[in-house]
Amino acid sequence: MAKSTPKSKPTAKAKPKTKAKSAAKSTAKPTAKSPAKAKAKTPAKKSPVKASAKAPAKAPAKSPAKKKQKQLFSPGDYVVYPTHGVGQVTNVEIQEIAGHKLKLFVISFDQDRMTLRVPVTKASTAGLRKLSSRKMMDTALETLKGRARVKRTMWSRRAQEYEAKINSGDPLAIAEVVRDLHRKSGQPDQSFSERQIFESARDRLALELAVIEKIDMEAATEKMEDFLKAA
């Protein structure tokens, strides 16, 4: 009977210690996690600052679009189309093609008795330009005084080069064709194909000269002949 009593006492004292430790752990865990969660949420407040910094950079991108809407020519203006020469804008019309509205320059070429319609948005890429300045035309006329430069190649190849110069619409290049194919008295006559290319270049340059100086076609041609004879 004396041995059973001392064993029951230590077990009763050990139980309160475990409760104290568990209570201490339960109170320590929430306090340790709460600051960590608060720090993780704070960087989210910086996002509005980045969005406001990017917004002003998008505004200047709209300005170049307004410059493209300017109309290059108006009805009554004389223009030069590379493959047809000098024409006059008679109208600016809008046509509906495949459900889309398209703005067109209507150009009349009296010499060829034809009318051409060129989209306004593709006028510059098509080579449509204003008349040459007087200074550029004077330079082209001075080119007629120069010495002919004829390459020693087959005529078929030279003819292609001459056609390319005429269709470029450049008055200086066209003047070179007139100079190279012109025949003075005492020189051999031109062949039929040479004569055709020569007259095409001469008429193309004479028509632009006539419109610039406000003279008729015959007077412009005679003026060019005077420069050719002075060579």
Q: Look at the pTM and tell me if it is higher than 0.75.
A: no
- Asked if residues 82 and 169 have their Cβ atoms less than 8 Å apart, the reply is yes
Over residues 115-121, mean pLDDT:
94
**35 falls in which pLDDT band (50, 70, 90)?**
very low
| H or E element in which residue 87 lies | strand 85-97
Class at the top of the CATH hierarchy for domain 78-130: mainly beta
**Residue partners of 227: CB distance under 8 A and separation at least 6:** 141, 142, 144, 145
Element (H, E) at 89: strand 85-97
Residue ranges of the chain that CATH labels 2.40.10.170: 78-130
Q: How far apart are CA 137 and CA 213, in angstroms?
A: 10
Res. 49 pLDDT band, cuts 50 70 90 = very low
pLDDT surpassing 90 at residue 43: no
128-165 tens-digit pLDDT: 999 999 999 999 999 999 988 888 889 999 999 999 99
> So what CATH class is 134-229?
mainly alpha
Residues of the chain with CATH 1.20.58.1290: 134-229
Q: CA distances (Å), 26 to each of 36, 37, 147, in order?
A: 17, 18, 108
- pLDDT confidence tier of residue 12, bands split at 50, 70 and 90: very low
